[in-house]
Amino acid sequence: MNTIDLRSDTLTQPTKTMRKAMAEAEVGDDVFSEDPTVNRLEKIAASRMGKEAAVFVPSGTMGNLISMLSHCSRGDEVILGDQSHIFLNEVGGISALGGIHPHIISNESDGTLNLETVEKKIRASDLHYPPTRVIALENTHNYCMGSPIKPEYMQQIGNLAKRYNLKIHIDGARIFNASVAMRVDVKDLVREVDSVMFCLSKGLSAPVGSLVCGNKKFIDEARKWRKMVGGGMRQSGHLAAAGIIALGELVNELKKDHSNAQALAQGLSMLRGIVLKPALIKTNIIFFSLEHPALSPEEYLKKLELQGIKMLMIEPGVFRAVLHREISEFQVEQVIRTSEELTK
């Protein structure tokens, strides 16, 4: 039985072209900035984002962490959403390792932060308050239906940040999904930000790695923090080679994942007990709930797996399915048919 694994787009395997490039990559010592393939990837990444420089890191979590460490000192504060990956899924690293205070506000359904609320939460200069330094956003926003954040909003939050002399960081793990879904240049999504992290190892199918982009001074600082937290890699050009292929060949392929996500959402929304609004699905991530009189969420998940289909139940009764390069249209139809049988 071939498994249909919808748990995450991190499950993508490198392409044959990537494997060949990895095997043949010209490498050196990246800690000494002497790996030519890493250097090339960083230049490509910075150019794609319209920034001065970039640094290659092992993971998106590390990328977000070193960005916060570079922007903030101990005791500083970052404003971020209650559904953000940095807050929920990064082990409290900014607090534990950076002494950075998270000021949490509710995400809107589209992943944004209400501008008026953000402005109210910016700390006045006061002996009793941690100083606000950064506004952190996520694009696409994982837990908000994989929502892409529009350039118009980024312009508005950018204007707000400038008024208060704040930095903006984007957790852009899937920012190319946002770019493809909205048919805008990725530069237009990060023009107003001081730093952006994006992943190569999700829908772009590279085996390992993320990039942090910003101005040269910021990246020099981030590179030092990368070394401190254990991210100084050596002949990492073997990994960077896959990233170069990812940026050159896989970005436009993301539209297939979005199309398959829409087809899956439409199909599941017609089934008994499944609660889902297909109109909310903009990229490759689907959330839905099961409210069935004869089938518990736990039974549904178990029976799916017996049929070779894997999903995540992220909270009781709520499921996440993530489409990626290795899920075909035929497999989407299989998931719909299997779910239909289970929910009759």
Is the pLDDT reported for residue 157 higher than 80? yes
Kindly state the tokens that stand for 131: 């100083």
**What percent of the chain shows pLDDT beyond 70?**
100
What average pLDDT does this structure show over 312-333?
A: 97
CA distances in angstroms from 24 to 60, 70, 238, 239, 248, listed in the order given: 25, 34, 8, 11, 17
What average pLDDT does this structure show over 104-127?
A: 97
Is the pLDDT reported for residue 238 higher than 90? yes
Q: Residue 1 has what pLDDT?
A: 62
Q: Residue 194 has what pLDDT?
A: 98
Q: What are phi and psi of 19, to 5 degrees?
A: -60, -40
The reply to whether the predicted model has a pTM over 0.75 is yes
162-201: pLDDT as tens digits: 999 999 999 999 999 999 999 999 999 999 999 999 999 9
What average pLDDT does this structure show over 47-60?
A: 98
What is the C-alpha to C-alpha distance for residues 342 and 304, in angstroms, rounded to an integer? 8
What is the C-alpha to C-alpha distance for residues 58 and 300, in angstroms, rounded to an integer? 35
> Which residues have CB under 8 Å from 311's CB, separation 6+?
6, 7, 301, 304, 319, 320, 321
Q: Amino acid letter at 206? A: A
**Confidence at 237, pLDDT banded by 50, 70, 90:** very high
79-94: pLDDT as tens digits: 999 999 999 999 999 9
Is the pLDDT reported for residue 125 higher than 70? yes
Q: Which domains does the chain have, with CATH numbers?
A: 14-250 (3.40.640.10), 253-343 (3.90.1150.10)
Is the pLDDT reported for residue 107 higher than 90? yes
Is the pLDDT reported for residue 2 higher than 90? no
Is the pLDDT reported for residue 142 higher than 90? yes
What is the C-alpha to C-alpha distance for residues 247 and 199, in angstroms, rounded to an integer? 10
- The mean predicted confidence, pLDDT, of the chain is 97
Task: State how far Cα 278 lies from the chain centre.
Answer: 21
What is the C-alpha to C-alpha distance for residues 54 and 65, in angstroms, rounded to an integer? 15
What average pLDDT does this structure show over 285-310?
A: 97
Radius of gyration (C-alpha) of the chain in whole angstroms: 21
**Confidence at 315, pLDDT banded by 50, 70, 90:** very high
What is the C-alpha to C-alpha distance for residues 226 and 206, in angstroms, rounded to an integer? 20
